[in-house]
Chain A
Amino acid sequence: MEQYEIVIIGGGPAGLSAAVSARKAGAQRILILERDKELGGILNQCIHNGFGLHTFKEELTGPEYAARFIEQACELQIEYRLNTMVMDISLDKTVTAMSRELGMYQIQAGAVILAMGCRERSRGALNIPGYRPAGIYSAGTAQRLVNMEGFLPGRKVVILGSGDIGLIMARRMTLEGAQVQVVAELMPYSGGLKRNIVQCLDDYGIPLKLSHTVTDIKGRERVEGITLAAVDGKGKPVPGTEEEYECDTLLLSVGLIPENELSGQMGVTLNPVTSGPVVNESLETDIEGVFACGNVLHVHDLVDFVSEEAAMAGENAAHYVDNSQRTAEAYEKTDSAAGQEASAAVALKPENGVRYTVPSLIHPDRMRKEQIIRFRVGSVYKNCYIGVYLNGERILHRKRPVMAPGEMEEVKIKKSQLAGLSRPAELSIQVEEA
């Protein structure tokens, strides 16, 4: 069986950044397995600009951002295989993959980095009545058709959901000559970034209807129209508010779901809130030597943060491989395990408006000088505080003018703040009213 120190599942922004940093941290044999015909992942279809302000201090388009990492990976001579589907990862990190060229084969990995990204929630999850006519697309599918394959999926468009991809596609379809009539959002706030509402909707006079949803899709062969209705506080359509829209296309931008079939099959514990693996400070799942980063871990707003997170995962995986090689040698020499001493772990607890945290667990002895904790809140908060409590004692209190579910938040905890814990502790992160 082929052997690699690190096998990375997915060659998108997370996989690429993890590979580059793992190499820089000393890992020799690294392999990226990618199911598409090119590296770069979803960035290849995100032709709009706005990527890379944090990472490269300039505004790049998606393909340009991807190219920067692909160049680095090539310079570092990182191996990759395209058109390759990973079928299974076993507990002992045997990766089963297949491709047209190589058929089905297995690779023994020292460490695995999960970087499979996410996929879009589909119509089936929404329970919209009606037939199944042509003309209903997820916003990302439409994006791929327009930007990569050169097709315009329709001319008269309604978009349900105001996630960033939906907003970006409202502008994109307009530029390509389609008439985007309305973007409807079930929630009373948009799930997308504010700047996308300005430059994708306001710039083109496309109305955004908050607290509205599609209650009917008309047409048997092709979409002929939809019914839009206002919803009450519980998300239920309000009778009498229905409006009819004639359209040939309905785009859905109703959320992203981390793609964790492989992780689940392998036995990695998933967080029901994020649908991503539960990870510790090293971005390691509850299976030793299996790391996760990027949108497979939790859906990000910014690729810059994906790259940063993945770089940490890559570095940690390289250290893991290095340590386990050394531990194995030590084991042979002394006939006893030279493992790490057990430390008092800190469990993170999202509370009072905070929906989840990444990571979920911190081992203070393994953490870096500073640990970034990323999280999302459950609704819109104005002039509130983020409070962090260690065993009930407040260690951080930070004012936030606005927090919304569509924008990921972060706090940084210093190693010194978690020093000297003798027993397992609890770190609570919560929203506090002013």
Chain B
Amino acid sequence: MERRELICIGCPMGCPLSVETEEGKVISVTGNTCPRGDSYARKEVTNPTRIVTTTVRVTGGVQEMVSVKTKTDIPKGKIFDCVKALKNAQAEAPVRIGDVILQNAAGTGVDIVATKNVDAL
């Protein structure tokens, strides 16, 4: 049996979690105050994921940049591939929150969506 100590990133409380695994399977999660912590711990020891946030350039907008995010969390190991895939991406104003900026980023099956409204010039 293996035991791993984690800090939950589900919310700002940062609960200290303790996860017990056996042959890659989670046996127990303790220390969490809500279900979010339980699911974070299970994911973190098997397939850790993160939401990635970054920016892309806007053409013809009132702002230079628009902030974007992965619509859902993606595997941790794909973070840099995802950012690279956006390196030369551009958005054309107007951009609305939720607009898809890039489909299926770095083969994750997850879209990149805008998180800010940018009006056209």
Mutual binders A and B: yes
Chain A residues in the interface with B (C-beta under 8 A): 44, 47-50, 53, 59-64, 67, 146-150, 175-176, 193-195, 197-199, 203, 301-302, 407
Is B78 positioned at the interface, with any CB of A under 8 Å from its CB?
no
Query: Is A148 a contact partner of B64 (Cβ separation < 8 A)?
Result: yes
Q: Which A residues lie within 8 Å of B116 (CB)?
A: 44, 47, 63-64, 67
Q: Across the interface, do A47 and B7 meet the contact criterion of CB distance under 8 Å?
A: no
Count residues of B near A (Cβ-Cβ below 8 Å).
28
Q: In the assembly, what is the distance between CA of A60 and CA of B116, in Å?
A: 11
Can you sample 8 A-B contacts with CB below 8 Å?
A50-B11, A63-B116, A67-B116, A146-B55, A149-B64, A150-B55, A195-B8, A301-B12
B65 & A61 in contact (Cβ 8 Å cutoff): no
**Which of B18-26, B46-54, B101-109 faces chain A?**
B46-54
- Shortest Cβ distance from A61 into B: residue: B115
A398 to chain B, nearest CB (A): 15
Cβ A203 vs Cβ B50 within 8 A: yes
Contact B7 A64 (CB under 8 A): no
Partner of A195, one of B12, B63, B115: B12
| Contacts A67-B97, A67-B116, A203-B50 given; does A175 touch B69 at CB 8 Å | no
Minimal beta-carbon separation of A418 from chain B (angstroms)? 29
Known: A47-B116, A49-B51, A175-B52; 6 extra A-B contacts, CB below 8 A, are A47-B67, A53-B12, A63-B97, A147-B67, A148-B63, A203-B79
Query: Can you name the residue of chain B whose Cβ is closest to the Cβ of A43?
Result: B116
Chain A residues positioned under 8 Å from B54 (CB to CB): 47, 175-176
CA distance A413 to B8 in the complex (A): 30
CB-defined interface of B72-93 with A at 8 Å, one 1/0 digit per residue? Answer: 0000100110010000000000
Do the beta carbons of B69 and A67 come within 8 Å of each other? Answer: no
- Contact indicator B76/A203 (Cβ below 8 Å): yes
Of all chain A residues, the one with the shortest Cβ separation from B82 is A175
B57 interfacial contact with A, CB 8 Å = yes
Q: A67-B117, A149-B64, A150-B64 are in contact. Are A61 and B11 (CB under 8 A)?
A: no
CB-CB under 8 A from B11, the residues of chain A are 50, 53, 195
Asked whether B60 is an interface residue with its Cβ less than 8 Å from the other chain, the reply is no
Given contacts A48-B53, A67-B97, contact A148 B12 (CB under 8 A): no
B10 cross-chain contacts in A, Cβ below 8 A: 195
Partner of A199, one of B9, B80, B117: B9
Residues B117 and A194 in contact, CB atoms below 8 Å apart: no
B63 touches A61 (CB 8 A): no
Report the nearest A residue to B114, measured CB to CB. Answer: A63
Q: Is the CB of A150 within 8 A of B57?
A: yes
Which residue of A59, A63, A176 contacts B67 across the interface (Cβ within 8 Å)?
Answer: A63
Contact among B7, B67, B117 for A61, CB-based, below 8 A: B67
- Neighbouring A residues of B63 by C-beta, 8 Å: 148
Q: A64 near B51 (CB under 8 angstroms)? A: no
Find chain B residues with CB under 8 A from A147 CB. Answer: 55, 65, 67
Cβ–Cβ < 8 Å partners of A47 in chain B: 53-55, 67, 69, 115-116
B86 to chain A: closest CB distance in Å?
10
Question: Please, which residues of chain B bring their CB within 8 A of the CB of A193?
Answer: 12, 14
Docked Cα-Cα span, A47 to B64, in Å, equals 14
Q: Which residue of A lies closest to B11 (CB)?
A: A53
